């Protein structure tokens, strides 16, 4: 028995095929699609790499934005909202405002409310959960892809760079950096901006002077807390008399509602929206 030659032993041209054969011979340097048979068809679809426009030329669709919804029950914060609006309308090509306060006090909700109310004034409203430098990079990358889907094929850091380039070459946008750990986490990004508005929320109380205007956000006003409690309870049970619920919640907080006097610091946690929500669901049970 003779052993068939290995591939490299075949001559590299079809002239070596037996006479009248319709097959093909493969040489050592053969490449591309090869097929044999009377009815064979070769189809080659070449996908061209998507063309990426310079971000300087990208104009967003009018509806581009990703602000989270404001909760159904939203109470108070009129003065706080005015303070944010005043600060955000400040002079300068880049305006930065940092709303800072306790976790749960309502910073993100206020930022979402501000973004929703001022959506129409901006070419783009982009919300980034900014609790780590890597989260900021991801948020900027997603923004770049939303602005120009072809960017999705690039590596993450290139996508991020495209996002920064868009921000640094366009005016009229609003960027929300939600839950920023420290002012320094945003400094490299902010240094590259030449126009636009940045609204930051953070638990960090100090260190904002070189970044922008710091606006401390306090717990809810007691009357607003009562309003929130009753609206949650009444919303689920239209005929409920809320007087008892308010008393019970006040008792838990250790002070009397409604009251124009701010409660002592040790009791202020009872005026955090999540505490009120928990209290109202306990009462409903």
Ligand X SMILES: Nc1ncnc2c1ncn2[C@@H]1O[C@H](COP(=O)(O)OP(=O)(O)O)[C@@H](O)[C@H]1O
Binding residues for ligand X, rule: CB under 6 A, are 71, 73-77, 101, 103-109, 201, 228, 273-274
Q: Minimum CB separation from Mg ion for residue 106, in Å?
A: 8
Piece of 35-43, 102-110, 185-193, 243-251 that binds Mg ion (CB under 5 A): 102-110
Work out what residue 143 binds among Mg ion, ligand X, none; the CB cut-off runs from 5 to 8 Å by kind: none
Residue 105 beta carbon to Mg ion: minimum distance, rounded to whole angstroms: 9
Which residue among 108, 148, 202, 275 contacts Mg ion (CB under 5 A)? 108
For position 109 contacting Mg ion by CB under 5 A, the verdict is: no
Beta carbons of 147 and 64 less than 8 angstroms apart: yes
3-state secondary structure of 212: coil
Binding of Mg ion by 159 (CB under 5 A): no
Least separation, in Å, of the C-beta of 76 and ligand X?
A: 5
The answer to whether 127 and 178 are in contact (CB under 8 A) is yes
Q: How far is the CB of 125 from ligand X (least distance, A)?
A: 17
Report the alpha-carbon angle 206-78-112, nearest 5.
Answer: 65
Q: What are phi and psi of 179, to 5 degrees?
A: 65, 45
CB of 128 to ligand X, least distance (A): 14
Please tell me whether residue 148 binds Mg ion under the rule CB under 5 A.
no
Dmax (CA) of the chain? 106
User: Alpha carbon of 164 to those of 28, 121, 173, 201, 254: distances in Å?
Assistant: 49, 21, 12, 20, 49
CA nearest to 134, candidates 106, 105, 150, 156: 156
Residue 285 tokens read as 């049970």
CA angle (146 as vertex; 145, 150 as ends), nearest 5: 40
Site string for Mg ion, 60-99 (x = CB under 5 A): ----------------------------------------
CB of 50 to ligand X, least distance (A): 38
Tell whether omega for the bond before 223 is within 30 degrees of 0, i.e. cis.
no
Q: Which does 27 bind (CB under 5 to 8 A by kind): ligand X, Mg ion, none?
A: none
Q: Give me 216's structure tokens.
A: 């401390």
Residue 104 binding partner per list ligand X, Mg ion, none, with a CB distance cut-off of 5 to 8 Å that depends on partner kind:
ligand X
- What element of type H or E holds 196? strand 196-202
Which of ligand X, Mg ion, none does residue 68 bind (CB under 5 to 8 Å by kind)?
none
Report, in Å, the least distance between residue 218 CB and ligand X: 11
> What is the number of the residue whose Cβ is closest to Mg ion?
108
Q: Which does 71 bind (CB under 5 to 8 A by kind): Mg ion, ligand X, none?
A: ligand X
Selection from 204, 262, 55, 83 nearest residue 140 by Cα: 55
Q: Which residues would be at the binding site for Mg ion (CB under 5 A)?
A: 108, 179
């Amino acid at each position: 028995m003779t052993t068939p030659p290995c591939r490299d032993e075949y001559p590299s041209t079809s002239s070596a095929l037996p006479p009248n054969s319709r097959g093909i011979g493969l040489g050592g340097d053969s490449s591309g699609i090869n097929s044999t048979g009377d009815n064979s068809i070769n189809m080659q679809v070449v996908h061209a790499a998507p063309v990426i426009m310079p971000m300087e030329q990208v104009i967003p669709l009018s509806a581009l934005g990703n602000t989270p919804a404001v909760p159904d029950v939203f109470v108070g914060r009129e003065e706080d909202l005015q303070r944010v609006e005043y600060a955000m309308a400040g002079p300068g090509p880049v305006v930065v405002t940092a709303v800072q306060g306790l976790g749960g006090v309502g910073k993100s909700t206020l930022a979402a409310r501000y973004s929703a109310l001022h959506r129409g004034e901006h070419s783009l409203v982009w919300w980034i959960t900014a609790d780590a430098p890597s989260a900021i990079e991801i948020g900027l990358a997603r923004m770049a892809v939303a602005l120009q889907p072809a960017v999705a094929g690039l590596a993450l850091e290139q996508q991020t760079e495209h996002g920064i380039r868009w921000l640094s070459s366009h005016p009229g946008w609003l960027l929300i950096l939600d839950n920023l750990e420290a002012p320094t986490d945003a400094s490299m990004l902010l240094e590259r901006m030449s126009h636009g508005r940045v609204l930051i929320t953070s638990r960090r109380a100090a260190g904002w002077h070189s970044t922008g205007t710091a606006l401390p956000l306090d717990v809810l006003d007691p009357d607003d807390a009562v309003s929130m409690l009753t609206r949650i309870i009444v919303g689920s049970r239209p005929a409920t008399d809320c007087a008892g619920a308010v008393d019970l919640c006040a008792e838990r907080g250790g002070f009397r509602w409604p009251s124009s006097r701010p409660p002592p610091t040790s009791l202020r946690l009872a005026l955090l929206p999540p505490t009120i929500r928990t209290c109202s669901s306990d009462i409903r049970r």
